[in-house]
Amino acid sequence: MSFHTPSDPRNNSIMARARNFLRRLVSAHPSITDAVDIRRAELLSMISLFTGLVLVAAVLFQPARYTVFLALTVIALTTYVFGRTSRPWIGAYLFTYLFTTIGLVSVFQGTAESIEASIAYTALASFLISSVLLSGRGFLGLIFISIASLFIIPFFFLVPGLGMDVLVRSGGLILVAGAMLFGGNIFRDNLEKEKNRETNNINQDLENAKGILEQRLHASALELKEAAGQSEERTNRLQILSEISQEIATHISQNPKDYLTHIARMISEKLGYYHVGIFMIDENQEHAVLRAANSKGGQQMLARRHQLKVGGAGIVGYVSQSGRPRIALDTGVDAVFFNNPDLPETRSEIAIPLKYGPSIIGVLDVQSNKPSAFKAEDGITLETLANQIAIAISSQQTGGPAEPLPFSKSISRRGGSHLGQRQAHPGYSFSPDGTLTNATPGNNPITNKALASGETVILDPSPKGIVPALAVPVKLRDQVIGVIHIEAADPKRKWSEDELALVQAISERAALALENARLFENATRRAEQEETIARVTTKIGSSTDFNHILQTTIQELGQALGVSRSFIQLKTPSNNDQVRPPGNFHDAAGKG
């Protein structure tokens, strides 16, 4: 069993304060930043402080040598003071050179017990310390001065027992010790340089990695900012498109001139374009005639009944014939662009055909006073608006829908030999696995609420396990004709404003597309009816036989309407009149 005795926090605090005190005593000057210089300055302060304390004790215990120890103490303390300044190298030279000088002076004065002892205890100690504190040149200088001093001594002082053999042994000892320490110093410096080189390389690599990381972070931040800007731009575009679509559908009852002018001004104001013009193809399909414009130059063109030949000069002429959109990003270099003096500020232009089915009924012309003003997103937006304008114009020309958009049934001819009534399916459902199935109307509360109120209904996540859902009404000219119902796969999903705006925009496009399909279907049906009437009339008129006329009439009607049995009967003028048969029958097999 082992026991652990917790340490006393007070002891830890005292030790920590002691370490901090010692660290402050030997710390280098703040102006010194190089790691090697910091270590040398701290080492110099430690050695000089320790040496000074030892010499103070020596003065107290050996007063006979008071002078020497006091001089050395002064040198040590002076060195310590320089070690704490921004020039610690001065203290290093003072310490090493003066200590060596004191040892040699003791030799000169004959106070040392022997020359070898003086060298061993003073000079060699100074060499050892100087090899750590001094540079290579300073250390070599100390060695040469020490050797030279030994050989100069006999010429100035008469020292007993100082023979040539002692000088040679002392000089050799200094030389060998100095060479060893100098070699070690060089080896240490090389290791230090190599270490510094590796550290610098590592630091450089870290700086490079940091720079690359910062560049990537900056690039990512720019990409995120750009993506956020694009997302906001798309949201604003969808909102503007929704507002313009609503205006197009709401003001369809206006007279054609005011209606087209309102559309042109609205597109210019909402999307910020310099000029918006709406051209309509004339009855002879020869000219595109300007019917509406928002700009001052456009009003001047309207006043003189401006028109362009279909397929002629200019972007509008090209689009009115080809039926394909055309963009001039720089009107100064586009060969198709027609320079219009009424619109001198135009720098870029886009023209979108107004198409109803396969027919080109007009051109939407949009111009900007900025070069390269139209992007791909602008083309898609304007093309969507052009389709809605074409549908609205066709609705006005046909008198508008006589009844609400038939969501449940429609009459059409689909490749058969008769006219019939087709029951449209009430709806469709899309599953996450990609399957598309028929959907039957159900008693769904949020769907019923959306149909009744004409407003979007949002069902948020609930702790009761209710699946989050959206119900967006499909409206045409403020009349609800259907509903889009969406359920989330995640029971905790919350619908964002962008998702809601997307569904509402698609709902508006779907309503316009359904209206377009209804108008096209009505036109096809009327054409088929006229064709059937003309065909039956031709067959009836080609015969002069009374019975054959009746048989042809009832047979063609039966085939056209697709009924199981048809009957025709003429009123008999009198009971005695037997000229005409009472009637003819036609069954589903076509026999009369």
Tokens of 529: 């009816």
In what helix (H) or strand (E) does residue 304 lie, and over which residues does it extend? none
Taking the CA atoms of residue 68, residue 73, residue 74 and residue 76 in that order, the dihedral angle to the nearest 10 degrees is 130
pLDDT the model gives residue 312: 84
- The β-bridge partners of 479 are 476
What span, in angstroms and rounded, lies between the C-alpha atoms of 588 and 539?
Answer: 20
DSSP assignment of 456-500 equals: -EEE---TT-PPPEEEEEEEETTEEEEEEEEE-SSTT----HHHH
Q: Which two tokens stand for residue 2?
A: 């082992």
**pLDDT value of position 6:** 52
Which secondary-structure segment (H or E) carries 293?
Answer: strand 287-293
Q: Which of 294, 298, 394, 399 is closest to 343 using CA atoms? A: 298
Report the amino acid identity of residue 296.
K
Q: What is the rounded distance in angstroms from the CA atom of residue 410 to the CA atom of residue 422? A: 6
* Cα 587–Cα 590–Cα 592 angle in degrees, nearest 5: 70
Read off the amino acid at residue 582.
P
Query: What stretches of 27-135 show up as alpha helix (H) in DSSP?
Result: 35-61, 66-83, 88-108, 115-118, 124-133
Could you tell me how far CA 113 lies from the centroid of its own chain?
A: 86
**Please, what are the averages of pLDDT over each run of 10 residues along the chain (592 residues)?**
50 77 82 80 83 79 70 82 84 78 65 59 70 76 76 62 66 74 74 82 89 87 81 77 80 84 90 91 90 90 89 86 85 58 86 86 90 84 86 72 37 37 60 67 77 84 77 84 84 83 85 76 70 74 74 79 74 54 45 42
Distance separating the N- and C-terminal Cα atoms of the chain: 119
| Nearest C-alpha neighbor of 547 from the set 570, 566, 563 | 570
**89 and 143 Cβ atoms separated by less than 8 Å:** no
At residue 406, the pLDDT reads 39
Alpha-carbon span 380 to 284, nearest angstrom: 30
Distances (CA, A) of 397 to 120, 253, 302: 122, 11, 21
Report the pLDDT value the prediction gives residue 436, as an integer from 0 to 100. 66
Q: What contacts 24+ positions apart, CB below 8 Å, involve 126-132?
A: 126/96, 126/97, 126/99, 126/100, 127/100, 127/174, 127/177, 127/178, 127/181, 128/181, 129/47, 129/95, 129/96, 129/99, 130/92, 130/96, 131/181, 131/182, 131/184, 131/185, 132/40, 132/43, 132/185
- 8 Å CB contact between 499 and 505: no
Q: Provide the pLDDT for residue 280.
A: 92
| Tokens, residue 496 | 């964002």
Residue type, 563: V
